[in-house]
Structure formats: structure tokens, C-alpha cells
Amino acid sequence: MGTHETNARLVDQMISLSALVVGMTRGVVEGEGLTESQANLLWLVDPAGDPLSLRQLAARLRCDPSNITLISAKLEEKGLAVRAPHPADGRVRTLVLTDAGREVRERLLAGAYERSPFASLGEREQQQLHRLLGKVLAESRAT
């Protein structure tokens, strides 16, 4: 474990990085007519991945499930997603992207990649940072 001072510096860096990423992607998000919350939810719904329940999405975004319900409803109004039963358990609701939603998600991802603050890191450095951040996030989810 690091020292109190090192941990404080790391938190400060993460706050700065978060603000940088939000600022860099703001134009893309606004250009799509989305809020940050809507864009974050679209980002998490990977059409190629296993469907996540609305509750799992809320946990990933660290918000109350009722917020996901509201954000999902807004995405439905925009024609970008639909709430549907989970394929393995019909009692559980998931969020599924429409064709339009997948297109918007791709544009969001492309915009984020073009402006990535990690471009200054080499592939090996990016992989190392990915592993370290994954470890931190896995530990925080376990508590």
C-alpha cells in the first residue's frame, strides 16, 4: 500500500484525468444530442458482449438503479435503445441498442479514441496502465 501522500496525489491525478476525458469528449457527446449520463450508458452497452441487467449497469456507473431507468427511457425516446428481457432470465431487464444506437455508440467511441489522452503512451505502457486500473477497480467493486 502506498503512503497517504502518494494516494492523495493519485486521487488528484485521477480527478484531473476524469475532467480531461469529459472535456475532450464533450463535443462528440453534445454533437450527438446526448447528456454525459446517456453517453456513459451507451458506452457500457456493448452489442458484442453479454447483455448486462439494468442493475448491473447501475453498479458499473455507480448510481441508483432508478437513475438507469430514467436514462434508459431517454435513450428509448431518442430511438437509440430498448429495454428488453434478459435472454437467460426473462424477469431481468436489459438495455439493447437499436441500429441507430449502435451507430451513435460507434461515433462516441471513435471520437473518444481520436482524442484519447493515452495516445502519448506506448502499447506496453497502455497495457500496464490498463492492468493497474483494472486491479484498482476490481478491488473497489469488491467492497
Top mean pLDDT of 12-16, 62-66, 103-107, 110-114 is at 103-107
The whole-model pTM stands at 0.81
Closest alpha carbon to 95 in 112, 80, 77: 80
Q: How confident is the model at residue 39, as a pLDDT?
A: 94
Q: Where do the domains of the chain lie, and which CATH numbers do they carry?
A: 4-142 (1.10.10.10)
User: Do residues 63 and 122 touch, judged by C-beta distance below 8 A?
Assistant: no
Contact yes or no for 96/81 (Cβ under 8 A):
yes
Predicted confidence at residue 20, as pLDDT, reads 87
> Which amino acid, 82?
V
pLDDT digits 0-9 by tens, 74-106:
999 999 999 999 888 888 899 999 999 999 999
Check if the beta carbon of residue 37 is closer than 8 Å to that of residue 92.
no
Map residue 97 onto helix, strand or coil.
Answer: strand
The yes-or-no verdict on residue 128 having pLDDT over 80 is: yes
Task: Cell numbers for 114, please give them.
Answer: 481520436
**What is the tens place of the pLDDT at every residue in 7-57?**
899 999 999 988 888 888 888 899 899 999 999 999 999 999 888 999 999
Specify the pLDDT at position 95.
94
